[in-house]
Amino acid sequence: MDELKIQLAWNRLLAIVEEQAQVLMRTAFSTVVREAGDLSAGVFNVRGDMLAQAVTGTPGHVNSMASAVAKFLARYPLAVLKPGDVLVTNDPWDGTGHLNDFTVVTPVFRRDECVGLFASTSHIADVGGRGFGPDANDLFEEGIRIPISYLFREGELNETLSEILKHNVRDPVVAEGDLYSLTACNDSGGRALLAMLEEFALENLEAVGEIILERSRAAMCERIGELPEGVYSYTMTIDGYDEPVTLQATVGITRDRIAVDFAGTSPASSKGINVPLSYAQAYASFGVRCLVGNDVPNNAGSLGVISVTAPEGCLVNALPPRAVSARHSIGQMLPDVVLGCLHQVIEDAAPAEGASCIWNPVFMSTFADAGANEVSTEFVINPIFNGGTGARPSKDGLSTTAFPSGVRTTSSEVNEVTSPLVIWHKEYRTGSGGPGRWRGGLGQRIEISHREGAPFVVSKMFDRIQHPARGRDGGEAGAAGRVYVIDEAGIERNLPGKGRDVVPAGARLVLETPGGGGIGNPENRAPDSIAADQTAGLIDN
């Protein structure tokens, strides 16, 4: 293939998968997908290697989905698949780490030959069980588990699977609608791929796919080869469920490979904060890619030179049937640990620790929990709030920004129109960014109540309340997060960062998200920067 055709084909694949992701967002029923982009989309060769991913989406979804498609093909080899077949699973160990994420895989056929596969993942709001949260004692309490199965077989819906799912979730319309949305976005990608093959006179993706993967692998190896070989370690303590947990990583750099090992990390928890290895691999490899080869396409070629291991049975390699619903509360901390290792070898590149874990409470109506005589308006929403990122080596941290997940904050207007809740305040937390020559990003303060004055449930999966983001090189820690209730008499009562609580009738719930750590001695901060922060109300005068 000539170079021009290769470049045009690569650009077209990127456009196809981005359109695939946009179709998913525009057809999704779940607000967190439609408004926040909690999804992934990608195209794969016939061996299940990811060739290209959409920019829209999260590293946790994308990088774990990258390893999932091969598992689909192991269960249903190409030889048994036919046009119109669509496969699905939400198995945490075969998909993207917890039951709320459904991954759909669609083979694309051209003249009876499978020429590639499209995969997509989205977060479905409810899968039954206890609901999205960290309180379950095992996977069976967390909801319905769908093994790799046919969603459609030669174009016909698997009615039995569909009925089982709809009878085991609280919002069957949303669950069913999101599965059609996932199917539709893959179909969109498949049609565009067939048009591309026709336009470029290609029989299949094999030749161009080989070139893409090999060049990506070679480019990543080149970036790794520029680094000094060695072994670097970093340890971080975070809140855990009801007691602190330790995340420990060792990064080994050789001539053409980076190996991340989480030996020394705390053992698995009895609660739902455990992380399947595929999700740990997704965020750990993302941490590497933030500093090494971040200009290289993210696909099976570039990811293949990064290995991520962890002892079986530890917190980041939990085995079934451990509870894993809130695996993001731990998994999204892993880039900070990896960046802490790489900071020792790549100077002036890594940010300080940040809030990292998104604050994504589940709010829902209550009945028995509050001892109410009658249920108020029924609802369940899963909004996204964020804290601050750590300061960067030559810039301040970003305020209320989802790093590393990239999931966007859902707007107050959308949250209010899809629930009977009122958001009274949503504002920066003055002074929450860790002081330093470069200041950490700020968290935010959100104050919420029920429009009808009724009680409501909050399921919390928050961290950095007991262990705030640390600064670096003399920079100070960011502000710790806080969750509390203000009752009708104005009395405040603190709530734990994880678990299910009822906000009493007439009370307001307040979330104060954490700030990011600073970098460098605060005394060396430029006076103009201090004055600008004071004028903007980011720090106290």
Mean pLDDT of 486-506: 96
pLDDT tens for residues 170-220? 889 999 999 999 999 999 999 999 999 999 999 999 999 999 999 999 999
Angstrom distance (rounded) from CA 320 to CA 318: 7
426 falls within a domain: yes
Q: Which of 216, 241, 270 is the last residue of a domain?
A: 216
Dist CA 163 CA 293 (whole Å) = 46
Within a 13 Å sphere around the CA of 278, how many CA atoms are in the beta-carbon half?
Answer: 22
User: Which tokens belong to 172?
Assistant: 């069957």
Residue 371 has pLDDT above 70, yes or no: no
pLDDT tens profile 74-93: 999 999 999 999 999 999 99
378 falls in which pLDDT band (50, 70, 90)?
confident
Any domain includes 52: yes
Peptide bond into 321 cis (omega under 30): yes
The pLDDT tens digits for 452-483 are: 999 999 999 999 999 999 999 999 999 999 99
Give the CA angle between residues 174, 176, 178 to the nearest 5°.
65
For residue 284, count other CB atoms closer than 10 A to its CB: 30
Query: Phi/psi of residue 219, each to 5°?
Result: -65, -40
Determine, yes or no, domain membership for 82. yes
Residue 309 included in any domain = no
- Summarised one tens digit per residue, pLDDT across range 328-344 is 999 999 999 999 999 99
**Mind listing the pLDDT tens digit for each residue in 101-159?**
999 999 999 999 999 999 999 999 899 999 899 999 999 999 999 999 999 999 999 99
Domain membership of residue 282 (yes or no) is no
Residue 238 lies in a domain: no
Q: What range defines the domain where residue 523 resides?
A: 351-541
Average pLDDT over every residue of 33-59: 96
pLDDT tens by residue, 431-445 = 999 999 999 999 999
- Which of 196, 216, 236 is the last residue in one of the domains? 216
Residue 376 confidence class, pLDDT cut points 50, 70, 90: low
pLDDT at 373 over 70: no
Residue 136 lies in a domain: yes
Domains held by the chain: number: 2
Show which of 189, 216, 243 is a domain's final residue: 216
Q: pLDDT tens for residues 502-527?
A: 999 999 999 999 999 999 999 999 99
Helix (H) or strand (E) holding 16: helix 3-27
- Which has the closest alpha carbon to 420: 449, 389, 443, 391? 449
Dist CA 509 CA 448 (whole Å): 5
Q: Does the pLDDT at position 539 exceed 70?
A: yes
Distances (CA, A) of 72 to 147, 285, 307: 10, 22, 21
How far apart (Å, rounded) are the C-alpha atoms in residues 129 and 120? 24
Query: What's the confidence (pLDDT) of residue 372?
Result: 46
User: What is the 8-class DSSP label of residue 445?
Assistant: E
240 assigned to some structural domain = no
- What's the mean per-residue pLDDT of the chain? 96
Q: What is the largest CA-CA distance in the chain?
A: 74
Amino acid at position 352, single letter: A
Q: How confident is the model at residue 370 (pLDDT cuts 50, 70, 90)?
A: very low
Q: Indicate if 356 and 209 belong to the same structural domain.
A: no
CA 461, 314, 264, 407 dihedral sign is: negative
